[in-house]
Amino acid sequence: MELITDTETLAAFCDRLSSESFVTVDTEFMREKTYWPKLCLVQLGGSDDARCVDVLANGIDLQPLFDLMANEDVLKVFHAARQDVEIFVKLTGKTPVPMFDSQVAAMVCGFGESVGYETLVNNICRESLDKGSRFTDWSKRPLTERQVTYALGDVTYLREIYQFLKDKLDDNNRAVWLEEEMAALTSTDTYIVDPNMVWKRLKARTKSTKVLAVLREVAAWREREAQRKDMPRNRVIRDDAIIDIAHQSPKDTHALERVRGLNKSIANGRYGKEILEAIQQALSLDPSEHPKPPAKKDLPKGLGPVVDLLKVLLKYKSENFDVAQKLIANVSDLEQVAAYGDGADVACLKGWRREMFGEDALKLKAGGLALAVNGKNIKVIDLDS
């Protein structure tokens, strides 16, 4: 099996890969019972060789791997990189640089939204993957030959996929588009969770800043506790319990016991004490320190037909330029353009998106552009020319 289990072999392999222009990278990890992903295996592929690194092998030092990830002369190629990169940020504090995500590149090249690796293998490599080991327990040892073979497939086919997408990006002059999309993935801020900001993920459906203050403090407590104990946040307490606590602001354990999803033992234990402290911390804040509800402009009435026309234009542009719609604009963006025109602060009115779609969207809204049916196709008519 192509499995590396010792530091010396890992160092030699990473040294060989350091002379490559790019390496393909994937990871296998477990996260069902932990807050942080537990790394179990790393797959690395060069131009003519690929290996799996058993990161759980006794005595193995992963520093040669980390050095390779930090080597700016070698491009690191991932597919759907976010969770893989999160692992490296947790282990090293840095993102692998430079980096290429074939899922994002495929969206730029017209393969659809959030395209899967298996689809790219089928369409580009004309091969099919054996996914029988997809849900295996990667933390158990020894690994089987079938597991290693499966894992290697995630980096061997990726070499051909990368070359194909790179060539297509170069032919279409879209490499700079990919660079814009990769900016978030290469920022460590993307992977570092601020406990004081996680309340924004919870749907409290309220405009009360006091309720939001309690929501923020209790959600931050849960996040810190989940990180401290390395367990999924919902195993500390569930989202709906936090939302109920925020709305009720219980003052004592008896009131806390009545919160849906909290039993008597939790309410009377350490968790209950710390939750009540978090509530009191929120209630003691000056109103000026309360979080504000997410700003949302009330859209003018009657925008529906305009938004529908913009949707048609978006679909036309997506198909004509062979780019995933999701990458250009979403419904919220179209609503903002319909309501506020060039004053809308949306991505589709900036950079390459504006050139491809935004300018014509503004012309359509202003009456300078018309859409017509031409057989089975849509025809765009410039009324100003």
End of a domain among 125, 160, 190?
Answer: 190
The CATH number of residue 171's host domain is 3.30.420.10
What pLDDT score was predicted for residue 129?
85
Tokens for 158, please give them: 């990726």
Rounded alpha-carbon distances, angstroms, from residue 13 to 40, 156, 206: 19, 16, 55
What pLDDT score was predicted for residue 135?
76
Q: Can you tell me the distance from the alpha carbon of 208 to that of 197, in angstroms, rounded to the nearest whole number? A: 17
Q: Are residues 46 and 120 in the same domain?
A: yes
Residue 204 lies in a domain: no
Q: Are residues 84 and 110 in the same domain?
A: yes
Q: Can you tell me the distance from the alpha carbon of 139 to that of 294, in angstroms, rounded to the nearest whole number? A: 41
Q: Are residues 34 and 179 in the same domain?
A: yes
Q: Are residues 312 and 280 in the same domain?
A: no
Tokens for 150, please give them: 């499966």
Q: Which amino acid is at 214?
A: V
Residue 294 lies in a domain: no
Q: Are residues 167 and 65 in the same domain?
A: yes
**Segments of the chain assigned E as strands:** 3-4, 22-30, 38-45, 50-54, 75-78, 99-101, 369-374, 377-382
Q: Are residues 316 and 285 in the same domain?
A: no
Q: Are residues 165 and 17 in the same domain?
A: yes
Q: How many domains does the chain have?
A: 3
pLDDT in tens, 115-137: 999 999 999 999 988 776 677 89
DSSP letter, residue 291:
P
What pLDDT score was predicted for residue 376?
85
pLDDT in tens, 37-57: 999 999 999 999 999 999 999
pLDDT in tens, 298-339: 778 889 999 999 999 999 999 999 999 999 999 999 999 999
Residue 307 lies in a domain: yes
Provide the β-strand partners of residue 51. 44
Rounded alpha-carbon distances, angstroms, from residue 296 to 48, 119, 143, 314, 336: 53, 38, 51, 23, 11
Residue 338 lies in a domain: yes
3-state helix, strand, coil in the chain (%, to 5): 55, 10, 35
pLDDT in tens, 178-236: 988 899 899 999 999 999 999 999 998 899 999 999 999 999 999 999 999 999 999 99
What pLDDT score was predicted for residue 355?
94
What pLDDT score was predicted for residue 52?
98
Q: Can you tell me the distance from the alpha carbon of 45 to that of 22, in angstroms, rounded to the nearest whole number? A: 9
CB 219 within 8 A of CB 202: yes
What pLDDT score was predicted for residue 113?
86
Residue 352 lies in a domain: yes
What pLDDT score was predicted for residue 1?
60
CB 235 within 8 A of CB 225: no
The mean pLDDT value of the chain amounts to 94
Q: Are residues 319 and 372 in the same domain?
A: yes
Dihedral of the alpha carbons of 283, 287, 289, 292, in degrees to the nearest 10: 100
Q: Can you tell me the distance from the alpha carbon of 37 to that of 238, in angstroms, rounded to the nearest whole number? A: 20
- Whether 297 has a pLDDT exceeding 70, the answer reads no
What pLDDT score was predicted for residue 382?
92
Residue 77 lies in a domain: yes
Rounded alpha-carbon distances, angstroms, from residue 229 to 33, 151, 157, 165: 11, 30, 38, 42
Q: Can you tell me the distance from the alpha carbon of 157 to that of 165, in angstroms, rounded to the nearest whole number? A: 13
The CATH number of residue 269's host domain is 1.10.150.80
Lowest-confidence pick of 24-38, 133-147, 242-256: 133-147
Residue 295 lies in a domain: no
Residue 198 lies in a domain: no
pLDDT in tens, 89-116: 999 999 999 999 999 999 999 998 889 9
CB 99 within 8 A of CB 23: no
Q: Are residues 108 and 135 in the same domain?
A: yes
Instruction: Please give the residue range of the domain that contains residue 221.
Output: 209-289
End of a domain among 257, 289, 321?
Answer: 289
What pLDDT score was predicted for residue 295?
72
Rounded alpha-carbon distances, angstroms, from residue 141 to 136, 144, 148, 168: 12, 8, 12, 41
Tokens for 213, please give them: 């203050």
